[in-house]
């Protein structure tokens, strides 16, 4: 998805992990993914640079669809579909 | 999906290396890996109940210990015991105390160690675990 599509996508679950460092955001995503159904979209908010690389790789390994990342002021919104 | 396995020979009892081990455990937990940790010599000292929360052991760049510990606090990094506990809650993590290492530090019983420890074992269990793991680390 491009940035415009990501901004417009309906988010079913939002995880704010901006207060944590690696591997906090990844573990927050892992905990939250169990709370949504297959096909639903989750966004992970992280200020950790490594997370924007970790989440796509994690999605690939776990069979989730990485949708893309939007860079905000001082943090990232990382989108994925279960 | 096939479950992968990580075996960690944890030798160090210093906070810097235990913190690094906690970060790696977090990665393993995120991927639902099975993890077996073998607590060897100096790490067994850190796993004793009276020592686990004492943060005065930093083995690398030790002249920067205060800066390192302050940064962990600034970054809200969990104490290594919390990181280990989180990993145990999220995936299959077994923590074995080496029997010899325990005796070195006068820890003869499982009750001498923090609750994260599952059992006291011999080196044979480590060898068996290492033989069946895709990832083997020594920290």
Interface test with B, best of A23, A26, A50 (most B CBs within 10 A): A23
User: Which residues of chain B are within 8 Å of residue A27 when distances are taken between CB atoms?
Assistant: 26, 29-30, 86, 90
State residue B55's pLDDT score: 82
Interchain pair B90, A23: CB under 8 A? no
Question: For strand A65-72 and strand B5-10, is the pairing parallel, antiparallel, or unpaired?
Answer: unpaired
CB B102 within 8 A of CB B113: yes
Q: What is the rounded average pLDDT for all residues in chain B? A: 95
Q: Which residues on chain B are in Cβ contact (under 8 Å) with A31?
A: 90
Which residues of chain B neighbour A20 with C-beta distances below 8 Å? Answer: 76
What is the per-residue pLDDT for B71?
94
Residue B11 is part of which domain span?
5-138
Q: pLDDT at position B56, please?
A: 84
pLDDT single digits (tens) A49-81: 999 999 999 999 999 999 999 999 999 999 999
Q: Phi and psi for B68 in degrees, rounded to 5? A: -60, -50
Q: Searching chain A, which residue's CA lies closest to the CA of residue B76? A: A20
Please report the ipTM that was assigned to this predicted complex: 0.81
> What is the CATH T-level fold of the domain A3-81, as seen in this structure?
Translation Initiation Factor IF3 (3.30.110)
A63/B30 Cβ within 8 A: no
Instruction: Determine which of B30, B82, B135 to mutate to test the interface with A (most A C-beta atoms within 10 Å).
Output: B30
Q: Please give the residue of chain B at the shortest CA–CA distance from A24.
A: B26
- What pLDDT score does B54 carry? 92
* Tens digits of residue pLDDT in B61-91: 999 999 999 999 999 999 999 999 999 999 9
Structural domains of chain B, count: 1
Rounded Cα distance between A53 and B32, Å, is: 18
Q: What percent of chain A has pLDDT over 90?
A: 96
Residue B2 has pLDDT above 70, yes or no: no
The shortest CB-CB distance from B26 to any of A26, A61, A63 is to A26
Is the per-residue pLDDT at B96 higher than 90?
Answer: yes
pLDDT at B1: 55
CA distances from B10 to A58, B19, B93, B137 (A): 25, 12, 14, 8
Pick the closest to residue B3 from B135, B127, B128, B97 (CA basis).
Answer: B135
The verdict on a CB contact (< 8 Å) between B23 and A29 is no
Where are the alpha helices (H) located in chain A, listed in sequence order? 3-8, 24-33, 51-62
Distance separating alpha carbons of residues B116 and B132, to the nearest angstrom = 23
Contact residues, chain B, for A22 at CB < 8 Å: 23, 26
**Of B1 and B11, more confident:** B11
């Amino acid at each position: 998805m491009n940035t415009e599509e990501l901004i417009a996508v309906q988010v079913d679950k939002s995880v704010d992990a901006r207060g944590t460092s690696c591997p906090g955001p990844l573990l927050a995503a892992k905990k939250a993914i169990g709370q949504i159904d297959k096909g639903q979209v989750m966004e992970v908010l992280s200020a950790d640079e490594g997370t924007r690389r970790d989440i796509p790789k994690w999605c690939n390994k776990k069979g989730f669809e990485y949708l893309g990342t939007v860079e905000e002021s001082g943090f990232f919104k990382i989108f994925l579909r279960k | 999906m096939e479950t992968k396995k990580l075996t960690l020979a944890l030798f160090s009892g210093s906070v810097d290396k235990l913190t690094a081990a906690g970060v790696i455990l977090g990665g393993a937990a995120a991927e639902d890996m099975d993890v077996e940790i073998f607590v060897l010599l100096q790490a067994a000292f850190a796993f004793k109940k009276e020592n686990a929360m004492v943060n005065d052991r930093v083995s690398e760049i030790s002249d920067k210990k205060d800066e390192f510990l302050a940064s962990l606090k600034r970054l809200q990094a969990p104490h290594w015991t919390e990181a280990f506990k989180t990993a145990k809650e999220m995936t299959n993590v077994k923590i074995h105390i080496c029997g010899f290492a325990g005796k070195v530090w006068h820890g003869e019983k499982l009750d001498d160690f923090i609750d994260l420890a599952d059992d006291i074992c011999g080196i044979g269990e480590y060898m068996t675990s290492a033989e069946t793991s895709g990832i083997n680390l020594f920290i």
